[in-house]
Amino acid sequence: MKILVIGSGGREHALVWKIAQSKLADNIFCAPGNGGISKLAECIDIKAEDIQGLLDFVRKEKIDLTVVGPEASLACGIVDEFFNYKLRIFGPNKKAAQLEASKVFAKELMAKYAVPTADFKIFDNAEEAERYVEKIALPCVIKADGLAQGKGVIIAKTADEAKQAVNSIMQERIFGEAGNKIIIEDCLEGQEASILVLTDSKSVVPLASSQDHKRIFDNDQGPNTGGMGAYSPAPVVTQELFKEILHKVVHRTIDGLSKDGIDYRGVLYAGIMITKDGPKVLEFNVRFGDPETQAILPRLKSDIVEVMLAATDKKLSRFKTLDWDGRSCVCVVCASGGYPGNYKNGKEISGLEETDKMQDVVVFHAGTKKPPTPNFQLPTRYFTNGGRVLGVTGLGDTIKKAIDKTYQAVEKINFEGMQYRKDIGYKAISR
């Protein structure tokens, strides 16, 4: 089969890497891809949001399966567009993608179908929202309705902070149209976990649990990022909790969508807070997590293409469970100096030939680039080209061993300004 993966991050590198192991994959393409991906797939210079360009490419190349990485392409309706031409594409359609693209849509669905989540109120008027925060318990959480590249959530400790958040989202429009409506919700306490499942809108096949590390600095300090590391499995998600989440969150959501006439196919990602009152949904994503995917897929033994095809073709009931490597997996993100603020690209990365030789280590590229005219006599040179540069991933019999392995690899890598968290996975040990 010819398979196209859309996107250019560490998640897409992990997807391409896993797809490359499938007996069904003959040729893999990635649009637009990155330096590391180009080792496994032919990178095509088409942007992830260029739906027409992607459609033209897929029709011309006779691609058999397209796998969508980022949410923006799904929210623009790439799946609906491909379905019109009877092309196989893995991911939810535009209506289903609202689960991530509109937090108001997600919250209303959760309320309607009794999916546990923080209590909330929706506003489309800034003055009303500002009056409301005067009289509620604090801290509270203010969320822009639409997509805001993971930055649309503000935790406010005081009424003034809350008003400021309302003002910047609804009046100053820092997230543009995404701020037409906001949600103000209770602040939940507990540990977070990510539960990802594959679904064809009827059957559900869970992936292994994982935990992300969103803040830039150790001990969850500093501003939020796209994710600085992850590990799988997440021991905070006991078997019992996993069952409860599947029942109360995943099935209720997918069945609820179905009842409302929305067919959800692809990956459903539930960001969960494990509170003292049980698991509650923080957010839904309609795609694989980044960097969770980099920690989950190295543990997956089943053929990912087979399951993706089954989800796309509504034949997922053939799979009850997937086969997993029982070891733990840790992914540490190496980021550019200054990220998540401003940073410089173009720094040469060293140490990758050494990590290539390590067993049970894979380095997924996120923001990297190769020089346009490589010298084939010499080892490939890679340069930084983004905030999150690499996702260094290691497996171990225990979480401790996986952590040690991963950091051994991280220490071999360097580029000017490189920063990474030193505490990825430690929450799992301290349990």
Among residues 188, 216, 270, 428, the one that binds ligand AMP under rule CB under 6 A: 188
295, 210 Cβ separation under 8 angstroms = yes
- Give the span between the Cα atoms of 100 and 104, in whole angstroms: 9
CA angle 273, 274, 278 (to 5 degrees): 120
Q: Taking CB within 5 to 8 Å according to partner kind, which of ligand AMP, ligand GLY, none is near residue 307? A: none
Q: What token pair was written down for 56?
A: 């033209």
DSSP string, 254-270: HHHHHHTT----EEEEE
Give the shortest CB-290-to-ligand GLY separation in angstroms.
4
- Give the span between the Cα atoms of 308 and 398, in whole angstroms: 29
| 266 makes contact with ligand AMP (CB under 6 A) | no
Please choose, from the candidates 68, 71, 98, 66, the residue with its C-alpha nearest in 3D space to the C-alpha of residue 85.
66
Give the shortest CB-429-to-ligand AMP separation in angstroms.
21
Give the shortest CB-144-to-ligand AMP separation in angstroms.
9
Which stretch, 68-76, 160-168, 180-188, 249-257, contacts ligand AMP (CB under 6 A)?
180-188
Please choose, from the candidates 284, 282, 281, the residue with its C-alpha nearest in 3D space to the C-alpha of residue 262.
284
HEC states along 144-198? ECCCCCCCCEEEECCHHHHHHHHHHHHCCCCCHHHHCCEEEEECCCCEEEEEEEE
Measured from each CB, the residue nearest to ligand AMP is: 283
197, 204 Cβ separation under 8 angstroms = yes
DSSP string, 336-373: -TTTTS-----PEEB-HHHHHTSTTEEEEESSEE--SS
| 100 makes contact with ligand GLY (CB under 6 A) | no
Give the shortest CB-203-to-ligand GLY separation in angstroms.
23
Closer residue to ligand GLY, CB minimum distance, 104 or 296: 296
269, 282 Cβ separation under 8 angstroms = no
Site string for ligand GLY, 196-235 (x = CB under 6 A): ----------------x--------------x--------
For residue 419, what is the DSSP state? B
Q: What proportions of the chain, in percent to the nearest 5, are helix, strand and coil?
A: 35, 25, 40
Residue 281 DSSP SS3: strand
Among residues 44, 187, 246, 358, the one that binds ligand AMP under rule CB under 6 A: 187
CA distances from 355 to 348, 360, 402, 413 (A): 16, 10, 15, 8
Closer residue to ligand GLY, CB minimum distance, 4 or 193: 193
Which stretch, 43-51, 125-133, 289-297, 330-338, contacts ligand GLY (CB under 6 A)?
289-297
Measured from each CB, the residue nearest to ligand GLY is: 289
| 281 makes contact with ligand AMP (CB under 6 A) | no
Give the CA dihedral 159, 146, 231, 388, nearest 10 degrees.
-100
| 214 makes contact with ligand AMP (CB under 6 A) | yes
| 271 makes contact with ligand AMP (CB under 6 A) | yes
Q: Taking CB within 5 to 8 Å according to partner kind, which of ligand AMP, ligand GLY, none is near residue 68? A: none
Site string for ligand GLY, 141-160 (x = CB under 6 A): ---------x----------
Give the shortest CB-284-to-ligand AMP separation in angstroms.
9
Which stretch, 55-63, 259-267, 288-296, 378-386, contacts ligand GLY (CB under 6 A)?
288-296
Closer residue to ligand AMP, CB minimum distance, 80 or 186: 186
| 145 makes contact with ligand AMP (CB under 6 A) | no
| List of residues contacting ligand AMP (CB under 6 A) | 118, 141, 150, 153, 155, 185-188, 192, 214, 271, 282-283
| List of residues contacting ligand GLY (CB under 6 A) | 150, 212, 227, 285, 289-290, 292
